[in-house]
Amino acid sequence: MIELFQDEKDIYRQLAGKILNQPLLELVPDNERNKAKTICLGILYGMGAAAAAQKLGIEIYQAHQIINSFYQKFQQVKKWMETIKHQTKEFKKIRTLAGRIRHLPDIVSEDSFKRSAAERQAINSIIQGSASDIIKYAMVCMERLLQILSSSKESSPSSSSEYSDVARNLIDSLSATQR
């Protein structure tokens, strides 16, 4: 899946192509692209086949087929999700990339609805919480970059490469402090 993101093409059309075994992306219809998007995001946020079928206006067995095809093509996603659930059950909490903690005691609940909700929350917390961490980090970088630029002797650098150099140095220094 990482390769699909790095390809800089429409990620959901690529997903649909993989799921449908259609290597020519221009032959992937828009409705199949949209199904792939719904399934991909739905899987990550804990949507099951029944909810997917309802959302897509298809039969449950069709939703099962699409979900199973997704997992066959992207086995690492399923493995990652199971690892997150297992770790959360072990520690009853989950950490974002920046180390923020969300406690999920219901992950070991006898009540299957509470347990399922906690499993979905564990995965969602990693995805959305880490995205939030990244955005906060980018905001700090931008603030520091603006401070550097505003305090420089020249109020406006003569070329965009000067901005790039300042930004690159700033990001390198920030990255070093995060290690």
pLDDT tens track, the chain, 179 positions: 677 667 667 878 887 888 777 777 777 788 888 888 888 888 888 888 899 999 989 899 999 998 898 888 889 989 999 999 999 999 999 999 899 999 999 999 999 999 999 999 999 999 999 989 989 888 888 888 777 777 764 555 555 566 666 666 666 665 655 54
- From-to residues of CATH 1.10.150 in the chain: 92-179
pLDDT for 151 equals 72
**Which of 62, 64, 81 lies closest to 1 in space, CA to CA?**
81
pLDDT (tens digit per residue) in 9-41: 787 888 788 877 777 777 778 888 888 888 888
Residues 6+ away with beta carbon under 8 Å from 51:
42
Torsion-angle region of residue 57: left (phi > 0), alpha (psi -120 to 50) or beta?
left
- Write down the H helix ranges in the chain: 2-6, 11-20, 30-44, 49-56, 60-73, 75-91, 112-124, 130-151, 160-178
Among candidate residues 22, 7, 64, the one with its CA nearest the CA of residue 39: 64
* Confidence (pLDDT) at 47: 85
Residues near 114 by beta carbon (within 8 Å), at least 6 away in sequence: 106
CATH of domain 92-179: 1.10.150
Length of the chain: 179
